[in-house]
Structure 1
Amino acid sequence: NGTPSKVEVVLEKSNGVDSSPNDLEMLGELHITPSESKNSVPETKTLIPPIIDETLEDRSPSSNSSKSSDRIANGFGSFLSALISYLSTDDEFRITPRVLNFISGCPNFGLGALDSSRYRKSDPTSKRDILLEQNPFYRKQADLAAKSSICLDLYVVSGLRYIDLASLKYLTLMTGGNLLLYDTTVNASLPQDIYRQLRKPRGFDCLLRIRTSPEYSVSSVYGHLVSDENHESVFKFAGCDSSKIISLTFEFHEASGFSELIRTNNPNLFFPALQMAFAFTKEQTGIDSNGNAVLIPVRMLRIVTYKLQIANSFASLYKSASADTIIAHLTHQMILNAEESGIKESCRSAQEWLVKLQAMFTLNQIPAPDQSGQRRPGPRLAESDSLQFIPRFFYALLKSSLFSNQSIHPDVRIYLQCLFSALEPRYLSKALYPALSSFSSCDNRSRPALFLSQEEVNLCSDAIYLLDAFDGIYVYYATNDSTLPFPPPHNSVLRQEVDDLQANTPLISPRVIFARKGDSKSRYFISRLIEDTNTQGFGWDEFEAQIAKQVDAFVQNHRSN
């Protein structure tokens, strides 16, 4: 609802640097050769002042380590500070850049030096302290970058050595960039992930304004953005693409909410609304006066106004709800609560919410008494077409490496914080609770949806299973029947679906694994059957029984009061 505003600004061509549309499609062409472009590339050695004036041995002995990898000087913080300062202050070279940062060790040298031994020294019983930043330097650098519309991506190839992503994560969270972690260089999808990100259309220097009708307002906003210091309900993204999401919490100004609108029942009188205005700059290819290809920054404005439907009953409210969206919003809230109060407290309060949700679902829809005065029991959440998967999604969230009570590498937890908070609900639900289906042959799908348990697989008794876990796609042959081609032929229905899933997964390139029953790779498939009780503790049946008991207690207590 609204006409886009378009402003075109043509940049002068720099001598010696030409850009063609095809250059932006190939990763190998995204560089400038100084020898060929010496007239247009600034002499950065003279522009960037000396910033490293110490050796690793000069640092405090408490931050040194006997590990050889810790003694390799990594001055990432000094480099980053100089780069952001340079890109922020040089008006002649003013651009809205996207900076891809590659790091394989903890920044332990120069500005923003981090103590790489903190992980080994941390209390193994405490999961919170190690997830908090140890140095605000990178948060401050991210804030400077966001104010100058500099988008920062961070690619970490660490071999799961401690990098302290708890301190580095703000570089991406506050600028609209992406953080990707690779535990090994063997078969890593880093080149594919970079190419996938660079070829995706992207907006820079983005502003989002949210407006609501008078009865309610936005109370919290979650996502990879920062609030504008001078304007209320205005948020900034240094960079943004179509896969980025934000999550909003609303609150009523009065306890009556929309009840007055429901009472009048006159939709022509007034309706609640939500309006979003999104301004951004995108780069388009054009031709200058000399016939050369140039990049033209174009300022765009998109305005959309939503008319909000008001539910006239609890039943219609529950029917219209989306389990995927609810769990995505809950994940954002749990991540924030974990930072403030710790993982254990975040999971406890979220479980209380789940119990209350299920109990109120029953209490709000208790049928009227029959002729004998007997009150029939209310419906259970498991009977709701739209909400029945919420308990399973929540169970999967507790079992995930983000919130598991097991010993998880802190950098993995931080990586999942950044990943899960950036995913659309439909993809987050698969990352938490993978989609499992079965095939009787490579060309015949048998069951489109199965629960994630070994018992379910055994009862199904199909030959082949396809499991889409977002970061991995697993094809598992439950039989050693030699008549079934292995792996699936490229022209088969199964293989084509695998290819489609891999091509359309955002942010990362999921690995594809084909396995037969009994071989070493089958463990990847078996480990994703998260409803089974295994080394990670409780199983689904135990969790469901525990929640049901708490729900019954809540309902009984509510009725007695």
Structure 2
Amino acid sequence: MHCVCVCVCERERERERERRVYLGFEEGECYCRRAMAVRFTFGCCPGDAQAQEGCGVPWGATITPFAAVDETGSTPAFGKHAQLVPRCESCWAYINALCEMEQWAWTCALCGNLNALSASAAARYAPPHSCPELTSSFVDLELDADGPEAEQNSYTRPVYIAAVDLSASEEFLELVKSALLAALEAIDAGALFGLMTFSHKMGLYDVQGPIPVVKHIIIPADVNEKIAVNLENVMPAQSFLAPVATNREHIAAALETLKPTSSWERATAAGQGGEGVPMGGRGFGVAMDALIDYLSAEQETAFTFARVLAFISGAPDYGAGQLDTRRYGEQYASKGEDADKALLCEQTPFYRNIAAMAVQAGICVDMFAITNEYIDLASLRFLSLESGGSLFLYSDTDETTLPQDLYRMLSRPCAINGVLRLRTSPEFKAARVYGHYSPDPQYENIQHIICCDAYGTLAYDFEFTDSTGFSRNFEAPPMIQLAFQYTRIMPLGESDLLGSTVSSEGEKFSIKRRLRIRTMSMGVAKSFKDIYESTDSEVVLSILTHKIIEASLEEGVREGRLLLHDWLVILTAQYNEFYKLAQFGQPSTFSRLDAAFSKCPRLQPLPRLAFALLRSSLLRLHEEGVHPDYRVYLQSLFSALEPSYLLRAIYPVLSSYSTPDKQAYPRHSLSRAAIITSGSPIFFLDAFTILIVYYLSTADPALPFPPPQNCFLRDTINNLKQTRHITPKLLTIRGGHDNVEPFERYLIEEQDVNGAPTGMGFVSFLDQIGQDVVRYMK
């Protein structure tokens, strides 16, 4: 399917262009796929807690705070003076288009409280009013700058720091160099760039000259010591942070000087002989601690936002924050411990504490691990996830997408220093929040997101505040309001929908603090049928995935598998009981049981999605060969994906083509039967991080292989690669000539694929669920 933004007239084209610039999108870039700002597990709320528990479907929502458009495809209404928007005196919700207005008062749509309007607010909202907050339920409002400090801080620059592991191979450093050269092309020319290296010592680079100058600081080997000297005294920030516009070539020259730390240097630092010393001496923890301290001290005067790009080739094994990799092995089996549970627990709170410091200073940390060895991402992940960053894992340096991923990440517009709050009607509340954020240390239900792009998504679990639910007031529909306050850094000279500034310097930035408000009303279900027939299976999968990840972290992978299996059993039982399909306790119960949800199309995908989730590496056991770091990477990836992308990652989309220019069927089940019976010679599989074109061995030899550049299939592939925030790999496989295992392992509905030869196929799985339902209802 092609994604096309269409404007019906020249005026609309101009408005569309202004919206793109306001949101920070490049000319020609399509943002239609970045929809669905708020999605619910079902279209109407359960009436009370008994109905919520009885329906079996989790009640929640996914929210993409910085999505370019809302779930209807509409862009926000823009305006100024966000600080003038009145707030409810009872629940602190913002006035919105769903509120009842009077001349001198307004009734809060969320809690029903009557609030007085000041004289200035009454004049502002007097008819005919055109204030965006009363004409649209989705608004983006700019906060006015306050005081002389606002003017002083309005021209600071974003900062990017590359922290490079020198306890690595030549291949690793060549890949990192390529990635950083791509990064320099992605970031604004007026941004500041710093280069730091680490091994058994730190290196700070001054790249503001034709010959780079590096100053080294020895990292203490003791796990309880920090670097004794302040990095500011080693190299002042004005020397360390170089403007990209005037130093691009100097930075590139400095990158060429990066060499692996020799074994002799590492051995000398460790007090050992040089012969046979393994790769190591990686003082990553001390280096990151010192860097965050350094940037925190400069944050108020040198920059508004800093992003650290950390490249690591192995586990930290030197100084404070070092991790013991010996725990990954066979020892758990001999001790009777659950390896899956143990290997998901952090060894030390060291990196979680550094993350807290980064959040306090408004510093985002992205971590790129390039290794096939165990490095304990379970301990390292907090550094990225809680600071609003991303965690990437690449198993080797060959055919990696690191340069493309880094370029895409840094070229996307992002909201920084975000503060998110979800308010609801008083009858219910958000009980749990899932995703990449840091909770506010003082106030409940406030999430801090240091860096958030148009793809970052959080999930919420809802629950009732009391047993009465919505039964006491059906005239006031359930409401939610999303309030997201964030900052955008925009180069001066870019046209802004809220005002235009012209600058020829190209190296100064305007800081805009904005408030995004999205208010929505929902209906109340009269029966389970309303819930079942309005279920969004993609959002249900997202909520379930978050719950499973949390259960795996707290109780182990086996507990996560059990939780998912039991949920499907209970849902199947409650569905059959509601539709009166089976008389439980009767001999004919099993034969009449409907485990495929054939009476409700909205529920039909759920057994297949649950089966796929059970078969994924997220929930496969340690003894089945799942690497613990890969599991942590999947947890990180899945917990931030928008539901439609998560669906592709867990249950890939398989389509078929009669020719490269003609699609035959848009979707097949992931089974061999679908391949055999379709009659199509070409199949295309979208598994989110990988795209596979598969030609059957019986395909007509006259069909062009691989698909030519100007065909429909190739256009589809290119569009998918363009709209993904993670660069998918493309494989083209020809049956009878190439290894078909990379394609066939995605046929997960078969019994003997995906490394589980003793597992069960999807048909057997449904049969097992039916038997468990009968036992459950006895």
Distance in 2 between the 1:67 and 1:314 partners?
A: 68
Distance in 1 between the 2:760 and 2:400 partners?
A: 32
Q: Is the 8 A contact 2:582 2:593 kept in 1?
A: no
2:288 maps to 1:89: no
Secondary structure of residue in 2 paired with 1:350: helix
> Which residue, 156, 166, 189 being the options, matches 2:378?
166
Distance in 2 between the 1:26 and 1:284 partners?
A: 14
**Residue of structure 2 in register with 1:152 after alignment:** 365
Cα deviation, 1:208-251, whole Å, max 9, x if unaligned, reads 11211111111111110121111121110111111111111111
Would the alpha carbon gap of residues 545 and 326 (structure 1) be closer, same or farther in structure 2, given more than 3 Å must change?
Answer: same
Q: How many residue pairs are counted as aligned between the two chains?
A: 529
> Which residue, 544, 547, 551 being the options, matches 2:766?
544
2:328 maps to 1:110: no
Aligned-partner residue type, residue 460 of structure 1: S
**Residue of structure 2 in register with 1:135 after alignment:** 348
**Residue of structure 2 in register with 1:450 after alignment:** 668
> Which residue, 335, 339, 343 being the options, matches 1:126?
339
Secondary structure of residue in 2 paired with 1:549: helix
Unpaired segments of 5 or more residues in structure 2?
1-95, 97-132, 134-138, 160-181, 195-204, 218-228, 235-264, 494-500
Aligned-partner residue type, residue 504 of structure 1: T
Distance in 1 between the 2:528 and 2:737 partners?
A: 50
Alpha-carbon shift at residue 196 of structure 1 (Å): 0.6
Distance in 2 between the 1:44 and 1:7 partners?
A: 44
**Residue of structure 1 in register with 2:611 after alignment:** 395
Of 307-316 and 180-189, more deviation after overlay is shown by: 307-316
Would the alpha carbon gap of residues 447 and 44 (structure 1) be closer, same or farther in structure 2, given more than 3 Å must change?
Answer: same
Would the alpha carbon gap of residues 118 and 68 (structure 1) be closer, same or farther in structure 2, given more than 3 Å must change?
Answer: farther
Distance in 1 between the 2:712 and 2:723 partners?
A: 17
Q: Is the 8 A contact 1:366 1:379 kept in 2?
A: no
**Residue of structure 1 in register with 2:521 after alignment:** 307
Distance in 2 between the 1:514 and 1:280 partners?
A: 42
Would the alpha carbon gap of residues 237 and 469 (structure 1) be closer, same or farther in structure 2, given more than 3 Å must change?
Answer: same
Q: Percent identity?
A: 35
Would the alpha carbon gap of residues 368 and 142 (structure 1) be closer, same or farther in structure 2, given more than 3 Å must change?
Answer: closer
Secondary structure of residue in 2 paired with 1:391: helix
Cα deviation, 1:86-125, whole Å, max 9, x if unaligned, reads 1112232242211111111111111201112221364156
Alpha-carbon shift at residue 544 of structure 1 (Å): 1.3
2:620 maps to 1:404: yes
> Which residue, 695, 701, 707 being the options, matches 1:488?
707
Q: Is the 8 A contact 2:434 2:458 kept in 1?
A: yes
Secondary structure of residue in 2 paired with 1:320: coil
Unpaired segments of 5 or more residues in structure 1?
none
Q: Is the 8 A contact 1:513 1:521 kept in 2?
A: no
Alpha-carbon shift at residue 261 of structure 1 (Å): 3.1
Would the alpha carbon gap of residues 56 and 334 (structure 1) be closer, same or farther in structure 2, given more than 3 Å must change?
Answer: farther
2:398 maps to 1:186: yes
Distance in 1 between the 2:604 and 2:661 partners?
A: 31
Would the alpha carbon gap of residues 182 and 465 (structure 1) be closer, same or farther in structure 2, given more than 3 Å must change?
Answer: same
Would the alpha carbon gap of residues 257 and 368 (structure 1) be closer, same or farther in structure 2, given more than 3 Å must change?
Answer: farther
**Residue of structure 1 in register with 2:287 after alignment:** 79
> Which residue, 679, 683, 687 being the options, matches 1:461?
679
Alpha-carbon shift at residue 366 of structure 1 (Å): 2.5
Aligned-partner residue type, residue 177 of structure 1: G
TM-score normalized with structure 2 length: 0.64
2:717 maps to 1:498: yes
Distance in 2 between the 1:343 and 1:283 partners?
A: 41
Q: Provide the aligned C-alpha RMSD in A.
A: 3.2
Cα deviation, 1:42-90, whole Å, max 9, x if unaligned, reads 999774179xxx97799899xxxx9965x41101111100111111122
Q: Is the 8 A contact 1:88 1:94 kept in 2?
A: no
Alpha-carbon shift at residue 325 of structure 1 (Å): 0.4
Alpha-carbon shift at residue 172 of structure 1 (Å): 1.6
Aligned-partner residue type, residue 765 of structure 2: F
Secondary structure of residue in 2 paired with 1:224: coil
Alpha-carbon shift at residue 365 of structure 1 (Å): 2.7
Distance in 1 between the 2:716 and 2:359 partners?
A: 39
> Which residue, 466, 481, 502 being the options, matches 1:254?
466
Aligned-partner residue type, residue 295 of structure 1: F
Distance in 2 between the 1:78 and 1:502 partners?
A: 38
Distance in 1 between the 2:652 and 2:345 partners?
A: 29
Aligned-partner residue type, residue 36 of structure 1: Q
**Residue of structure 2 in register with 1:101 after alignment:** 310
TM-score normalized with structure 1 length: 0.87
**Residue of structure 1 in register with 2:477 after alignment:** 271
Secondary structure of residue in 1 paired with 2:339: coil
**Residue of structure 1 in register with 2:454 after alignment:** 242
Q: Is the 8 A contact 1:365 1:379 kept in 2?
A: no
Distance in 2 between the 1:56 and 1:135 partners?
A: 26
Secondary structure of residue in 2 paired with 1:191: helix
Secondary structure of residue in 1 paired with 2:523: coil
Would the alpha carbon gap of residues 544 and 290 (structure 1) be closer, same or farther in structure 2, given more than 3 Å must change?
Answer: closer
Secondary structure of residue in 2 paired with 1:395: helix
Distance in 2 between the 1:424 and 1:451 partners?
A: 22
Secondary structure of residue in 1 paired with 2:443: coil
Alpha-carbon shift at residue 5 of structure 1 (Å): 2.8
Distance in 2 between the 1:165 and 1:367 partners?
A: 47
